[in-house]
Amino acid sequence: MTINHYFSYERMEESENVKIAPVQQKAYKEYLNWVRTVQPDGVIRQALFQYYQEDFDNYVYKLDISGNTHAYTVFTQPSWLDLDGDMDKFISSTKSTKKTNHNQNRIKRLAREMYMRQHPPTNETVEFPIGKLLWNGKSLCVSGQEYDDARFQIEKSDFYSYVSSGESVLREFYDALWENDINETDSEKFEEAFSKLDQRNRLASSYSDFKLWADHYHKVGPVCQLVIKRPDGKHEAYFTKRSHFVLQAPDVHSVSPAGELQTDTVSESSMNQKVIDILGEEILGVPDEMSGSTLQEKKSKQKAVNERVSNAIDNGGIHLRRTAFGFDMCAVKPIFAGLMYVSDPEVGEWMLEELNTGWEAESMKRIELPRPTIPNGMHPDAVSSAGAFAFFEGMRTLEHEFNVDTGLDFELHHSMK
């Protein structure tokens, strides 16, 4: 029986209640446990590579690590690597228009999943408003299909539009594998599962589709690798283990600061400013809506952090660089990768004193550079697509632009050069 068999659909509003019957609750828990088992075993990654096998050789991001080739679930091309400028250079122009498209069924499916991530199954039907677990917010998306120079026109959208496309395409992939009881990386059931991918087969069945998809809602937001220079001259790189309770990339490692552009005035959109804002929320203890703090407390802390970080950027103590562009082949969304390099040890020590990760991170991890080995958290099956891409391209930029010896034993695979 399919997971969708358990779903009932009604007209969707953010304040409308959703119900989950006991049999649905049990099904979701079994499904979530299955994802947590097969993901670190490489089943999902290998299934994606088989699905996109015609594009694997030329467009899948691959690295030679300690003599072995590792492939990550990222589509890219050589012209999208080694980018110049700061994060704002990703934006070429803006449009005041807004495009949205909400799929009621898909939003309800994800709201139910989010509830079951936080609650055990019960013998009673549960009911909750959609907006309690999956709230719709402002967002910006790429306008059109101009990707060659990794600079983009952007326009308004909203989070439900992205959820109705990108995240739902990923969940459709998970559902098809689960329904076919696929638990091995060389499963003979892959093709049968692929035949059930209605959205992916229609909209994103190849690398070219990612770029040519006319009605996409590719959300815009930076994902940056943070590196801090310590007083003794050594460097530390930081990354996080994401919580089980987040919608995007749960239970895997990623990097920070990372977030989505959200604004009423699209012409004022700034990737640089978003990195600064998210640095405060994700790493430096600025409270968010989940913390219980007042709006005034948030604004006061955010202002202090933003002023200190912005001054350091202006004075050359922090460097923001865009490093690479690609697509997350899992959730069919763009990756705007960058590096935040804190070269002023005094600013770095202040950051470490303020270190306080937000609710989306289960933990913060640090590695000292130089070091020869890649951290376990950056194994292809332990890290998000965006996190891996930003980490490795950040390390490459750290070496060739800032002459920092990372010591890491890796290089681009020849297909990426």
The share of the chain scoring above pLDDT 90, in percent, equals 73
Domain contains 66: no
This prediction's pTM = 0.93
pLDDT tens string 34-59: 999 999 999 999 999 999 999 999 99
Residue-number span of the structural domain to which 104 is assigned: 14-56+97-212
Q: For the chain, give the mean pLDDT.
A: 91
Per-residue pLDDT tens digits for 208-219: 998 887 778 888
- Provide the pLDDT confidence category of residue 22 given band limits of 50, 70 and 90: very high
Q: What is the pLDDT of residues 130-156, one digit of tens each?
A: 988 888 988 999 987 677 789 999 999
Whether residue 362 is found in the same domain as residue 381: yes
pLDDT value of residue 291:
59
What is the CATH classification number for the domain harbouring 230?
3.90.79.10
50/86 same-domain check:
no
At 315 the pLDDT is 96
47 lies in the same domain as 196:
yes
At residue 257, does pLDDT exceed 70? Answer: yes
Encode the chain in three state secondary structure: CCHHHHCCCCCCCCCCEEEECHHHHHHHHHHHHHHHHHCCCCHHHHHHHHHCHHHHHHHEEEEEECCEEEEEEEECCHHHCCCCCCHHHHEEEEEEEECCCCCHHHHHHHHHHHHHHHCCCCCCCEEEEHHHHCCCCEEEEECCCCCCCCCEEEEEEEHHHHHHHHHHHHHHHHHHHHHCCCCCCCCCCHHHHHCCCHHHHHHCCCHHHHHHCCCCCCECCEEEEEEEECCCCCEEEEEEEECCCCCCCCCCEECCCECCCCCCCHHHCCHHHHHHHHHHHHCECCCCCCCCCCHHHHHHHHHHHHHHHHHHHHCCCEEEEEEEEEEECCCCEEEEEEEEEECCHHHHHHHHHHCECCCCEEEEEEEEECCCCCCHHHCCCCECHHHHHHHHHHHHHHHHHHCCCCCCCEEECHHHC
Domain count, the chain: 2
Over residues 321-364, the pLDDT tens digits come to 999 999 999 999 999 999 999 999 999 999 999 988 888 888 89
pLDDT category of residue 1 using cuts at 50, 70 and 90: very low
358 and 399 both lie in a single domain? yes
**Looking at residues 81-91, what average pLDDT do you find?**
96
- Residue 69 domain-assigned? no
Are 181 and 49 found together in one domain?
yes
pLDDT at 293: 67
**Mean pLDDT value of segment 237-247:** 93
Pair 172, 293 in one domain: no
**Taking 80 as the threshold, does the pLDDT of residue 385 lie above it?**
yes
What is the pLDDT, as a whole number, of residue 7?
39
Q: In terms of pLDDT, which residue wins out, 305 or 390?
A: 390
Last residue of a domain, one of 212, 234, 259: 212
> What pLDDT digit, counting tens, does each position of 353-373 carry?
998 888 888 889 999 999 999
pLDDT at 4: 46
The answer on 101 and 85 residing in a single domain is: no
Q: Residue 319's pLDDT band (boundaries 50, 70, 90)? A: very high
41 and 109 fall within a common domain: yes
Task: Please say if the pLDDT value at position 10 is more than 70.
Answer: no
pLDDT band at 6 (very low <50, low <70, confident <90, very high): very low
| Same domain for 162 and 50 | yes
- pLDDT(11) > 80: no
Is the per-residue pLDDT at 167 higher than 60?
Answer: yes
Chosen domain end from 170, 193, 212 = 212
